Amino acid sequence: MRLSEIYNGKNAPVFSFEVFPPKGENPDKKMENLFCELKTLAKQKPALISVTYGAGGSNRDTSLEIIKELNNRLKQPVMPHFTCVCSSREYIKKYIEEIESLGILNILALRGDEPQDIDVCYRDFKSALELIEYLKNFSELEFSVAAYPEKHPKAQSLEDDIDVLKKKCDLGAKVAFTQLFFKNENYYKFFDKCIKKGIDIPIIPGILPVASFSQLSRIVELSGTQIETKTVEYFEKYKDSKEDTIKAGIDFASEQCQKLLEFGAEGIHFYTLNKALSSCEVIKNITS
């Protein structure tokens, strides 16, 4: 199904997951583990499973392997991420054609972070807007985009960031998936600002069920996501027990998602970190 069919106001709540190509040592073992996790995620019958993609095609082959596993063997709807930074026009056109040949209907169009370990960095595209404009010339893919309830780190202001999202919407974006956040109030305010700006596409909250205290600290540091002291203290109580931390993460995310759906969010996009348990348990909690 295309994004416009999935997010049509009739299928709510819509659940989706994000996974990424494993990195580091023992890549074959990590891929095997990921495929096991994907089988578990597939049991939830998600509307989409998105697969991240490194800037400049740095993990292209691994991303394709995951996409093919989901698409061909597990028969799951896939939404590949597609970043344009450090990619040439020719490369992007060729890769999009390969994606379409697999029967993929949707992508998440992103600028992406500039990699530090690439020899040649093309400057054909400076933003996701330029990527989208280019894709519309030759592709029938429907595309989603990123949204930032707490502002993109490089944006001058939240208002400027929302202006960019409006331009993406005007170019035909069907849905926006947000950066992860822990303060629902920031999403509510962001959503209201988007409505006032005339943005009428679904804005799907991105949620990360916390699985370890060190992971939480690292993600907050890397993403700049706002987190209240009481939330940090909540998870810090369980930092010496992996099992208790996972349960606390499930409980926190379950309450967060329930309130978001009550607010009117059309679905939830789970950042799984390649683990199925927490996201599946949250869905069970909010749908039972």
List of domains in the chain: 3-287 (3.20.20.220)
Are 76 and 19 in contact by the 8 Å Cβ rule? The answer is no
Structure tokens at 66: 């995951």
The pLDDT value recorded for residue 135 is 92
Residue 126 carries which DSSP code?
A: S
Cβ partners under 8 Å of residue 172, min gap 6: 132, 136, 142, 143
The pLDDT value recorded for residue 116 is 62
Structure tokens at 164: 């960019």
The pLDDT value recorded for residue 49 is 98
The pLDDT value recorded for residue 282 is 98
Please measure the distance between the N-terminal and C-terminal CA atoms of the chain and give it in whole angstroms.
Answer: 26
The pLDDT value recorded for residue 57 is 54
Which residues of the chain are under the pLDDT cut of 70? 54-58, 114-120, 122
Catalytic residues: 18
Q: Helix, strand or coil for residue 222?
A: helix
Are 162 and 191 in contact by the 8 Å Cβ rule? The answer is no
State pTM to two decimals: 0.94
The pLDDT value recorded for residue 119 is 60
φ/ψ of 47, rounded to 5, equals -70, -30
The pLDDT value recorded for residue 83 is 86
Question: Can you tell me the distance from the alpha carbon of 204 to that of 15, in angstroms, rounded to the nearest whole number?
Answer: 9
Strands (E), the chain: 14-19, 48-51, 78-83, 106-110, 142-147, 175-180, 203-207, 267-271
Q: Which of 206, 231, 196 is nearest to 149 (CA)?
A: 206
Q: Helix, strand or coil for residue 67?
A: helix
Amino acid making up residue 222: L
